[in-house]
Amino acid sequence: MSQASLLHRPVVRSVQSAIPTAVNAAESAAVLSVAPAAVAVSDADTVIRAKGVSVFYGAHEAIKAISVTMPRNNVIALIGPSGCGKSTFLRSINRLNDLIPGCRMTGELLIEGQNIYDPKIDLVALRRRVGLVFQKPNPFPKTIYENIAYGPRLQGLNGRAQLDELVEHCLRKAALWEEVKDRLTSSALGLSGGQQQRLCIARALATKPDVLLMDEPASALDPIATGKIEDLIQELKSSYTIVIVTHNMQQAARVSDRTAFFYMGTMVEYDRTDIMFTNPTNKQTEDYVTGRFG
Ligand SMILES: Nc1ncnc2c1ncn2[C@@H]1O[C@H](COP(=O)(O)OP(=O)(O)OP(=O)(O)O)[C@@H](O)[C@H]1O
Ligand SMILES: [Mg+2]
């Protein structure tokens, strides 16, 4: 994404990781901004950079001074107990928290070097470049074809042949084409949960994002459908930077290159996934990934 791409974009049919070493969550917020870069990421490789990001719901500070650097073509897993702020942080990356009354954010969040909270940012363009897949599949009550074609059409793509090609491309990318190619005009609501989730991923791909955010995308799926989503994530990371929230430690270990452990609104530790699961610095991380947390 070019520096200027999110600024003043004509609205089409308007729509180094910081590795905290603190031994407890309260301390970790204090060291986040000064922690050494144990897994340094060069500026050129950095896609997402958070600098002291805090998010408040009213007076409640849900995430506290998160600083993190996420590199291109990586899968980054966000793990941590319920309520620790994973979804809040994820939503801050495409400014979805803006839609929540009383929610405000401080700090800086940059994508490709550009502060996405700059008032001049085009939110439509931002959300197109930063796709979000939710825990519960949420296809539009439209045909399978229309679920994919809808976004690009809003962006002005109207040629039938081009749309056909894009729909097939996205469904193939999402490993769904073979299962639905003969029923493209059927309702998306008739698909199974796992198919609906892959359709939602295909839909997110249709607007050509750079970043894919996934909030527990496989938590409602059986092991076979989950395996397909995980294979898909591996496949997609050659083209996208993917941030995935998961409660499934095996899944985090299988699919991600880097893992961030959140606890009570702070990011306690962030490192390469193999290190996080075999030799984490922080005792809380170790307890959490080994299931001894409590
Ligand atoms: N819309 C909201 N309004 C008020 N408080 C909220 C809102 N969404 C989240 N919170 C609060 O912010 C904190 C972090 O919530 P968040 O949903 O980010 O946690 P999470 O780590 O994603 O949890 P889970 O694993 O259960 O999904 C919690 O205390 C939660 O109650
Ligand atoms: Mg959540």
**Tens-place pLDDT, residues 93-152:** 999 999 999 999 999 999 999 999 999 999 989 998 999 999 899 999 999 999 999 999
Q: Measured in angstroms, how far is the CA atom of residue 12 from the centroid of ligand 2?
A: 31
Question: What tens digit of pLDDT does each residue of 224-240 get?
Answer: 888 988 998 998 999 99
Residue 1 has pLDDT above 70, yes or no: no
Q: What does the mean pLDDT of the chain come to?
A: 87
Counting other chains too, the contacts that 43-47 makes at CB distance below 8 Å and 24 or more residues apart are 43/113, 45/71, 45/72, 46/70, 46/71, 46/72, 46/113, 47/71, 47/72, 47/111, 47/112, 47/210, 47/211, 47/241
Write out residues with Cβ below 6 Å of ligand 1.
Answer: 57, 62, 80, 82-88, 100
pLDDT at 294: 65
pLDDT at 165: 97
From the CA of 265, the nearest ligand is 1
pLDDT at 225: 84
Q: Measured in angstroms, how far is the CA atom of residue 243 from the centroid of ligand 2?
A: 13
Q: Which atom of ligand 1 is nearest to the CA of 78?
A: 21
| Interatomic CA distance for residues 129 and 1, integer angstroms | 8
| Interatomic CA distance for residues 71 and 17, integer angstroms | 9
Say what percent of the chain tops pLDDT 70. Answer: 86
Q: Measured in angstroms, how far is the CA atom of residue 220 from the centroid of ligand 2?
A: 13
Q: Name all domains of the chain by residue range, CATH numbers in brackets.
A: 3-289 (3.40.50.300)
pTM to 2 decimals? 0.86
pLDDT at 39: 64
Q: Measured in angstroms, how far is the CA atom of residue 90 from the centroid of ligand 2?
A: 9
6 pLDDT band, cuts 50/70/90, is low
Q: Whose CA is nearest to atom 9 of ligand 1?
A: 88
